[in-house]
Amino acid sequence: MTTANASPRPPFYRDVRVLKWVFQLGVFVVVAMIVYWLWGNFRSNTAASGIPTSFDFLSAPTTFTIPGADFSPNEAVRNAFIVGVLNTLRVSIVGIVLATLIGMLVGISRLSRNWVVSRLSAIYVELFRNVPLLVLLTFVFLGVVLQLMPVIAMAWTPLDWFVISNRGIGVPWYEGVSGWSLTLLVAIGLLGWWLIARWRRKVFENTGRPSHAGLLGGGFFVFTLVLGWFVLGGEMSLPVVDGREIAGGIRIDPSFVALVIALSIYTASHIAEIVRGSIQAVPRGQAEAASALALSGFQRMWNVILPQSMRIAIPPLGNQYLNLIKNSSLGAGFAYFDITNVTQITVGNGSPAVPAFFIALVFYVSISLATSTLVNMANRHFRLVER
Amino acid sequence: MSARTLQGAQGMGTGSRAYRWARRNLFRTWGDALLTIVFGGISLYALFRFVLFLFVNARWEIIEVNLKLLMVGRWPSDELMTMAVSVVVIGLWVGLIAGIVQGRRVRADRSTISSMTRKERIADLTRRFGLIVGTALLLLALTNTAGPWLMAGSTVVAAVFGRVIGGMAGLGGMPQWLTRLGMLAVVGVPVLVYVYLSRTVPLAAWEGFFFNITAAIAGIILCFPLGVLLALARRSKLRLLQSLSILYIEFVRGAPLFVLLLMANVSLEFFVPASIAPSKVVRAVVVFTLFTAAYLAEIVRGGLQSVPRGQEEAAKSLGLSPTKQMGLIVLPQALRNVIPAQIGQFISLFKDTTLAGLALGILDLLGAAEAVTRQEAFRGQGLIIESLVFVGFLFWVGSFTMSRESQRLERKLGVGTR
């Protein structure tokens, strides 16, 4: 082959392929040196002040209690972290559900023909989107929950089913049915729902009669639960005011209430904009076609426009859910025992700061990655398949 | 429903304009009428209660008495002159930049202002900045000395003066050396103002709303180099650089700012030599910078993707080096396209500066607003509502004005429509 000789390779110090690697290695070395410098400082500083750098503190007793969970001060710090993680997940899930509901409602109403309704939702969005979440949360916690809700001696007891006071909200809870049989019941109900939905779908596809899958399946689900409840001899525990505490039922912490309200109101204002944008992104022809088929206003929205707009809305919605999960860390400032607060308290009680915060950060980052993987999967699943 | 809509539509043709408008927008169908009455009633009642609160029930003394604490924290009263001078200089500086930008736009014949009548222009400015001006007047009305009025007056005069001078410079009606000097001032003035301010009161003691504003501005400016570098690295074909940048961006974006601030509070000192003991304000600014850089990187990446490939190819065919292709052709266009998104990022940083107060114990606007309710004169009277409404209002005015400006810019730049 003579071509190789005809165009000789440039000397290595001018060869782009070599230079690229040299450049990359240079940057890498600089980054590594910075990391090494930080790490060296960390080692020498911790050694100088005698602070442990290992994760041994996880097995030490916590020496603090967590209100609302039966948690003794002798349990390991590890268990406190688990309670914290569960509390973060709990507030996030409730917040996400509420924020989605409010956000959808506001986003749809913003496009309403009714002037009052559309104005009100515009005001809602502009009001809450432009206020710092922490100001809103402080307002809800200190101004609304602790100040406007009655003291425990004068608690509101609507229907005698709920107890509302600034020491917490009591709601009815199940009793007498063990966790396992309840899980089984729910599983049977869901399975039945799924089977009925499949059967009705087939009927709909074959005959064109309305499927009513949600009505029949959901009905079966509720029926199973109610029947199982009576067969297994389940009872309901109602909350009552007992001195300065709430007994029976289940008590919801004031900080949880405030956090859920603030998070869902704030995130809903962002979700509303996403929903509005994605509805407007659905081609007008779709709505016109639905009207031409004589669908009612609700059917047009629920069966034609919303499913198509949700496809567009999935990625930004996922982002908002992530923000909500991360923002739930603000609850730590209001005595809500999420993972951030547990970390903060355990560091205050003498656990080494860097490893403890490392655990919290790893938790948040992995939950973010998990959520974005889920969102990507959903996005792929609902993507428009074009021919 | 549809049949009824048709009937309604036919019935709409008659009557006065107000009647037709109400019929179309409020009482189109029976359901609509019900919604209008229910929601209209609720909102009228809420408005009534709110107005009652604002003008009758609320006790605004708590704000009036503590206004200085809320605005600038424990800045020594004798040194307020420094603050006033700085505000006037910044006013002049902003006017100068606005003038230069506008002048250049007129010279390039891209201005829309010349097509407006004086009346339209005033209406436009009122719509855009009326809220800010109104808030400033409200704050001034709460003070009881002449100083703040004097400062505000001089700031306005300085801004107008700067606008006129800058406009002339931008139009090219000035000698070149003076224009150069002006350009230098654009960069130099903020640095000088910072030095001037921090010589009076060290950075560590900056508090109140002043902290929120300066921390947000510092964060967004300082994060720029790192953010742009991260964006370039993430877009580059060099695998090692790309993975380092992705690692940083995804890690920071996955972590809550509040946790990072808490962490900086208790563990930043471990990672720097013991001789440097960063103050709380410095910690906050460091975290804001590192945090915002990751988000800015994603914004800039979007901007880089929005620049058509042809631009790069054209630059290449002109024989520009890769650095010049990026620095002179692609990056300027990318950054210009994402100005609205950058403003959005700035707004969210501005709102997030309140977290520093809670996490690091800095007496920022929110922290001060909570602290004043624990003063002896106001303790236990439920004044937290007044105090938080005031704080929320200030943040709201700032964020709302900026977000509307960013929407306006977005329309003007025509991003996404080209």
DSSP string, B139-166: HHHH--SSHHHHHHHHHHHHHHHHHHHH
Task: Give residue A204's identity as a one-letter amino acid code.
Answer: F
Residue B3: per-residue pLDDT: 45
A125 pLDDT higher than 90: yes
Q: Using CB atoms, which residue from B258, B347, B391 is nearest to A340?
A: B258
Outline where A130-253 has alpha helix (H): 133-138, 146-148, 179-207, 213-231
Residue B131: per-residue pLDDT: 87
Cα distance between residue A46 and residue A54, in whole Å: 11
Residues 6 or more apart whose Cβ sits within 8 Å of residue A34:
none
Interface check for B26 against chain A (CB to CB < 8 A): the answer is yes
Q: Which two tokens stand for residue B53?
A: 């609160």
Q: Using CB atoms, which residue from A41, A294, A353 is nearest to B266?
A: A353
Share of chain A above pLDDT 70, in %: 91
Interface check for B239 against chain A (CB to CB < 8 A): the answer is yes
SS3 state at A208:
coil
Residue A1: per-residue pLDDT: 44
Q: What is the largest CA-CA distance in chain B?
A: 82
Contacts of A28 in chain B (CB under 8 A): 240, 244
CB B209 within 8 A of CB B394: yes
Contacts of B239 in chain A (CB under 8 A): 24
Query: What are the helix and strand counts (H, E) for chain A?
Result: 14, 7
Q: Which residue has the higher pLDDT, A384 or A140?
A: A140
Q: Kindly indicate the confidence band of residue B5, based on its pLDDT and cuts at 50, 70 and 90.
A: very low
B 96-155 near A (Cβ less than 8 A): none
B87 pLDDT higher than 50: yes
Residue at token pair 């236990």: B380
Q: What is the pLDDT of residues A15-27, one digit of tens each?
A: 777 888 888 888 8
Outline where B236-376 has alpha helix (H): 239-254, 257-267, 280-306, 309-317, 322-324, 331-337, 339-360, 365-372
In degrees, rounded to 5, the angle at the alpha carbon of residue B75 between the alpha carbons of residues B69 and B77 is 90
- From B54's Cα to the closest Cα of chain A, the distance in A is 16
Question: Among A1, A45, A80, which residue's Cα sits nearest to residue A351?
Answer: A80
A-chain residue closest to B33, CA distance: A114
Residue B174: per-residue pLDDT: 67
Share of chain A above pLDDT 90, in %: 25
Q: Kindly indicate the confidence band of residue A185, based on its pLDDT and cuts at 50, 70 and 90.
A: confident
Q: Kindly indicate the confidence band of residue B214, based on its pLDDT and cuts at 50, 70 and 90.
A: very high
Flag if B258 and A135 touch (Cβ within 8 Å): no
Outline where A110-164 has alpha helix (H): 115-129, 133-138, 146-148
Q: What is the mean pLDDT of residues B230-235?
A: 91
Flag if B263 and A353 touch (Cβ within 8 Å): yes
Contacts of B2 in chain A (CB under 8 A): 291, 294, 296
- From B140's Cα to the closest Cα of chain A, the distance in A is 22
Outline where B361-383 has alpha helix (H): 365-372
Q: What is the pLDDT of residues A329-378, one digit of tens each?
A: 999 888 888 899 989 888 888 778 888 899 999 999 999 999 888 888 88
Residue A386, class by beta-carbon neighbours within 10 Å (0-12 exposed, 13-18 middle, 19+ buried)? exposed
Q: What is the pLDDT of residues A280-311, one digit of tens each?
A: 988 889 989 998 998 888 888 888 888 888 88
Interface check for B226 against chain A (CB to CB < 8 A): the answer is no
Q: Kindly indicate the confidence band of residue B7, based on its pLDDT and cuts at 50, 70 and 90.
A: very low
Task: Give residue B277's identity as a one-letter amino acid code.
Answer: A
B-chain residue closest to A125, CA distance: B400
Flag if B258 and A343 touch (Cβ within 8 Å): no
Flag if B1 and A129 touch (Cβ within 8 Å): no
- From A287's Cα to the closest Cα of chain B, the distance in A is 13
B164 pLDDT higher than 90: no
Flag if B262 and A38 touch (Cβ within 8 Å): no
CB pairs under 8 A between A and B: 168
Contacts of A127 in chain B (CB under 8 A): 396
- From B367's Cα to the closest Cα of chain A, the distance in A is 10
Which range in A64-78, B3-17, B118-132 is most confidently predicted, on average pLDDT? B118-132
Residues 6 or more apart whose Cβ sits within 8 Å of residue B327:
none
Interface check for B263 against chain A (CB to CB < 8 A): the answer is yes
Residue B2: per-residue pLDDT: 44
Residue B385: per-residue pLDDT: 87
Lowest mean pLDDT among A137-146, A214-223, B367-376: A214-223
Residue at token pair 């165009």: A7
Q: What is the mean pLDDT of residues B193-221?
A: 89
Flag if A354 and B269 touch (Cβ within 8 Å): no
Q: Kindly indicate the confidence band of residue B258, based on its pLDDT and cuts at 50, 70 and 90.
A: very high
Q: Which residue has the higher pLDDT, B245 or B11?
A: B245
Interface check for B250 against chain A (CB to CB < 8 A): the answer is yes
Lowest mean pLDDT among A252-256, B107-111, B286-290, B330-334: B107-111
Flag if A42 and B270 touch (Cβ within 8 Å): yes
Flag if B388 and A326 touch (Cβ within 8 Å): no
- From B236's Cα to the closest Cα of chain A, the distance in A is 11
Residue at token pair 């107005």: B51
- From B252's Cα to the closest Cα of chain A, the distance in A is 8
Distance of CA B342 to the CA centre of its chain: 10
A150 pLDDT higher than 90: no
Cα torsion A93, A97, A100, A106: sign = negative
Contacts of B39 in chain A (CB under 8 A): 116-117, 120
Question: Among A279, A275, A196, A185, which residue's Cα sits nearest to residue A225?
Answer: A185
Q: Cα-flanking dihedrals φ and ψ of residue A171, to 5°?
A: -130, 155
Flag if A330 and B270 touch (Cβ within 8 Å): no
Cα distance between residue B95 and residue A242, in whole Å: 66
Q: Which residue has the higher pLDDT, B103 or A341?
A: A341
* DSSP H/E element including B363: none
CB A317 within 8 A of CB A99: no
Residue B114: per-residue pLDDT: 62
A327 pLDDT higher than 80: yes
- From A334's Cα to the closest Cα of chain B, the distance in A is 10
Question: Among B105, B220, B223, B81, which residue's Cα sits nearest to residue B171?
Answer: B105
Residue A164: per-residue pLDDT: 77
- From A20's Cα to the closest Cα of chain B, the distance in A is 7
B4 pLDDT higher than 60: no
CB A361 within 8 A of CB B263: yes
Flag if A130 and B396 touch (Cβ within 8 Å): yes
Residue A264: per-residue pLDDT: 95
Question: Has this prediction a pTM greater than 0.90?
Answer: no
SS3 state at B26:
coil
Flag if A364 and B254 touch (Cβ within 8 Å): yes
Share of chain B above pLDDT 70, in %: 93
Residue B19: per-residue pLDDT: 84
Q: What is the largest CA-CA distance in chain A?
A: 99
A5 pLDDT higher than 70: no
Cα torsion B109, B112, B114, B115: sign = positive
Interface check for B403 against chain A (CB to CB < 8 A): the answer is yes
Contacts of B274 in chain A (CB under 8 A): 45, 48
SS3 state at A314:
helix
**For chain A, how far is it from start to end, CA to CA, in angstroms?**
48
Residue A386: per-residue pLDDT: 63
Cα distance between residue A21 and residue B372, in whole Å: 59
Residue at token pair 């515009």: A122
Flag if B395 and A131 touch (Cβ within 8 Å): yes
Q: Using CB atoms, which residue from B256, B351, B359 is nearest to A132?
A: B351
Flag if A147 and B352 touch (Cβ within 8 Å): no
Task: Give residue B325's identity as a one-letter amino acid code.
Answer: Q
Cα distance between residue B256 and residue A340, in whole Å: 10
A32 pLDDT higher than 80: yes
A-chain residue closest to B364, CA distance: A135
Flag if B39 and A120 touch (Cβ within 8 Å): yes
Interface check for B172 against chain A (CB to CB < 8 A): the answer is no
Q: Kindly indicate the confidence band of residue B173, based on its pLDDT and cuts at 50, 70 and 90.
A: low
Interface check for B28 against chain A (CB to CB < 8 A): the answer is yes
Average pLDDT for chain B: 85
B-chain residue closest to A21, CA distance: B238
B201 pLDDT higher than 80: yes
Contacts of B351 in chain A (CB under 8 A): 130-133
Lowest mean pLDDT among A108-117, A171-180, B256-265: A171-180
Lowest mean pLDDT among B137-141, B144-148, B363-367: B144-148
Q: Using CB atoms, which residue from A27, A136, A365 is nearest to B254?
A: A365
The neighbouring-strand residues paired with B128 are: none
CA atoms within 13 Å, Cβ hemisphere of B199: 8
Residue A123: per-residue pLDDT: 93
B-chain residue closest to A25, CA distance: B240
Average pLDDT for chain A: 83
Lowest mean pLDDT among A187-196, A243-252, B326-335, B373-382: A243-252
Q: What is the mean pLDDT of residues B152-174?
A: 83
B-chain residue closest to A298, CA distance: B1
